[in-house]
C-alpha cells in the first residue's frame, strides 16, 4: 500500500550535517518497509482465520474493515497528538501502539476469540497511522532539500518491497514451509509466532527512535479543518477523493480475495499456502509498474495513463473471471501491474491548482483511504451471495470510475456556489 500522509516540514536546524543522519534515514526507511509488510499480511490472515473460525466471506472481510477504518478514525486525532508531542515522539508512540497491536494477537489466538483479533488489527493500524503522520516529514528533512524527491522515491520503494516480501514471510510462517498446510486444518495459534516477531522488530525500532538524534520539525495544523472550507468547491478534488476511495478499495479487495480465488478448483485449484506466495506477483507487479509509469508519464499525461491502466485492469479482471487455469491466474495477478501508478496519479491530479487549499485537499484525499474498509466488506457480501468469482465485478466497477476520472473527472473545475470564498 501507498503511504498517504503528506509532509508538513520544516527543519529548524538546516545547518546540521546531513551525513550524520545516514543511520536515521536507514531506520526511517525500515519503517516504510515494515508498514508495507504488515498491511499486506492481512491478505494471508484473511483466508487463514476464515478457516480457523469457519467464517463466511463477509465476516472474514471484517479484518480489512477494522484495519482500514483505523486510518479514517485515527488520522485526524493523530495529527493533533503529534502537534503536541512532536514528530519524533510521535514515531515512538506509533511504534509502541503498533507493537501492542501485534502482541494482542497472542491472547487472541490463545483464547480463540475472533473479536480480539479484530481489536488487535485496529490497534495495529492505529499505530501505523500515527507512524505515517510522524515519519513522512522526516523524509524531506533528513538531507539536502534538493534530493528530497529521491529520498521519497527510495522510501516508497522499500514500502513496496515490504508488500512484495509479505506473502513469502506470511505463507512460510503461517501456512508452513511446504505450503500444503491450509485453512481447513488451521489453528488460530499459528499466527502467534509471526506477530511476536513483528512486535519484537517494532519494539526495537521504537527504542532506536527514542534515542536517535533527529532535527526538530515545525508542525502546521493545515489538515485540522478537513470537513469544511474552500477545498470542497473544487470538483476535480471531490471526484479525486472518490477515485482514491475506489482505488484503495479495489486493490485491497482483490488482494484480500486472491488466495481464496486461486484456491478455487475452477480457477487454479492451488493450496492456500501456495496461492499466498503468488500474492508476491500481484504486489511486486505494482512495484515494477511504478518505475515503468514514471518513464511513460514523462511523455504522456497522467490522466491518459490513469484511464489506460483502469481500462486494462477491467479487461484483465473480466478475462480472469471468464477463464480457468493459468489464464485466470495470471490475468488476475496482472492487475497489480496496472494498479501501480493509480494512487500517486489520482493524488496529484486531484491537488492540481488548489493553491492555499492544497493542505486541506491532501487531508481529504488521505481520509478517502477508508475505501479499503468498505469495498472489501461489500465484496465479501457479494462472494457469500453469488460466489467468489463473480464478486470481482465490484472491483472492476471501481476501475470503471478510475478510468472515467483519468479521462474526464480530473479536469480542473470549481463547483458552482452562491458565495465567494
Give 227: exposed, middle or buried? Use CB within 10 Å, 0-12, 13-18, 19+.
Answer: exposed
Domains 1-221 and 223-421 are alike in CATH topology: yes
Alpha carbon distance 250, 68 (integer Å): 13
| CB-CB contact of 96 with 71 (8 Å) | no
Q: SS3 letters for 162-181? A: HHHHHHHHHHHHHHCCCCCC
Ordered by start, the domain boundaries in the chain are 1-221, 223-421
Instruction: For domain 223-421, say whether CATH 3.30.1490.20 is its number.
Output: no
| CB-CB contact of 107 with 123 (8 Å) | no
Looking at every residue in the chain, the average pLDDT score rounds to 86
Residues 128-140: what's their mean pLDDT? Answer: 83
* From 179-193, 277-291, 294-308, 330-344, the region with the lowest mean pLDDT: 179-193
Right CATH number for 1-221 from 1.20.1250.20, 3.10.20.30, 3.90.420.10, 1.10.10.60? 1.20.1250.20
Alpha carbon distance 278, 262 (integer Å): 9
Residues 187-214: what's their mean pLDDT? Answer: 89
Specify the length of the chain in residues: 421
How many angstroms separate the first and last alpha carbons of the chain?
A: 35
- Residue 5, pLDDT above cutoff 70: no
Alpha carbon distance 122, 42 (integer Å): 12
Mind listing the pLDDT tens digit for each residue in 50-102?
Answer: 988 999 999 999 999 999 999 999 988 888 888 888 888 999 999 999 999 99
Q: How confident is the model at residue 187 (pLDDT cuts 50, 70, 90)?
A: low
Q: Which residue has the cell 502546521?
A: 220
At 340, give phi and psi (nearest 5°).
Answer: -50, -50
Q: How confident is the model at residue 13 (pLDDT cuts 50, 70, 90)?
A: very low
Structure confidence at residue 383 (pLDDT): 97
Counting Cα atoms < 13 Å in the Cβ hemisphere of 50 gives 23
Alpha carbon distance 148, 292 (integer Å): 21
Structure confidence at residue 176 (pLDDT): 72
Alpha carbon distance 174, 259 (integer Å): 13
Please choose, from the candidates 318, 336, 342, the residue with its C-alpha nearest in 3D space to the C-alpha of residue 282.
336
Contacts of 319 (CB under 8 A, 6+ apart): 327, 328, 331
Structure confidence at residue 338 (pLDDT): 95
Amino acid at each position: 500500500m501507498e503511504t498517504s500522509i503528506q509532509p508538513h516540514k520544516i527543519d529548524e536546524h538546516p545547518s546540521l550535517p546531513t551525513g550524520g543522519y545516514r543511520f536515521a534515514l536507514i531506520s526511517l526507511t525500515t519503517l516504510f518497509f515494515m508498514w508495507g509488510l504488515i498491511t499486506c499480511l492481512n491478505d494471508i490472515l484473511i483466508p487463514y482465520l476464515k478457516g480457523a473460525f469457519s467464517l463466511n466471506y463477509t465476516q472474514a472481510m471484517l479484518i480489512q474493515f477494522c484495519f482500514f477504518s483505523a486510518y479514517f478514525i485515527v488520522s485526524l486525532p493523530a495529527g493533533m497528538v503529534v502537534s503536541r508531542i512532536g514528530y519524533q515522539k510521535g514515531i515512538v508512540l506509533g511504534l509502541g501502539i503498533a507493537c501492542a497491536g501485534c502482541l494482542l494477537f497472542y491472547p487472541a489466538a490463545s483464547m480463540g476469540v475472533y473479536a480480539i483479533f479484530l481489536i488487535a488489527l485496529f490497534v495495529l493500524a492505529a499505530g501505523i497511522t500515527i507512524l505515517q503522520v510522524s515519519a513522512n516529514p522526516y523524509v524531506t528533512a533528513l538531507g539536502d532539500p534538493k534530493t528530497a524527491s529521491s529520498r521519497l522515491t527510495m522510501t516508497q520503494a522499500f514500502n513496496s518491497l515490504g508488500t512484495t516480501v509479505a506473502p513469502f514471510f506470511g505463507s512460510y510462517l503461517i501456512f508452513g514451509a511446504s505450503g500444503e498446510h491450509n485453512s481447513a486444518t488451521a489453528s488460530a495459534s499459528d499466527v502467534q509466532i509471526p506477530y511476536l516477531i513483528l512486535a519484537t522488530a517494532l519494539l526495537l525500532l521504537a527504542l532506536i527512535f527514542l534515542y536517535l538524534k533527529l532535527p526538530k520539525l515545525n508542525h502546521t495544523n493545515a489538515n485540522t479543518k478537513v470537513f469544511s472550507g474552500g477545498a470542497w468547491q473544487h470538483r476535480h478534488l471531490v471526484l479525486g477523493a472518490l477515485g482514491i476511495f475506489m482505488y484503495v478499495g479495489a486493490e485491497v479487495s482483490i488482494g484480500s480475495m486472491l488466495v481464496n480465488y486461486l484456491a478455487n478448483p475452477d480457477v487454479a485449484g492451488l493450496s492456500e499456502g501456495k496461492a499466498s506466495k503468488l500474492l508476491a506477483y500481484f504486489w511486486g507487479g505494482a512495484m515494477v509498474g511504478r518505475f515503468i509509469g514514471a518513464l511513460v508519464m514523462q511523455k504522456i499525461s497522467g490522466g491518459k495513463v490513469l484511464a489506460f491502466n483502469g481500462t486494462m485492469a477491467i479487461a484483465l479482471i473480466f478475462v480472469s473471471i471468464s477463464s480457468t487455469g493459468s489464464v485466470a491466474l495470471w490475468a488476475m495477478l496482472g492487475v497489480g501491474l496496472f494498479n501501480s501508478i493509480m494512487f500517486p496519479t489520482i493524488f496529484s491530479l486531484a491537488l492540481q491548482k488548489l493553491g492555499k487549499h492544497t493542505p486541506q485537499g491532501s487531508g481529504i484525499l488521505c481520509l478517502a483511504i477508508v475505501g479499503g474498509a468498505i469495498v472489501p466488506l461489500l465484496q465479501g457480501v457479494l462472494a457469500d451471495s453469488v460466489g467468489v468469482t463473480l464478486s470481482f465485478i465490484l472491483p472492476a466497477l471501481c476501475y470503471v470510475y478510475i478510468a472515467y476520472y483519468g479521462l474526464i473527472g480530473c479536469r480542473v473545475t470549481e463547483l458552482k456556489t452562491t458565495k465567494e470564498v
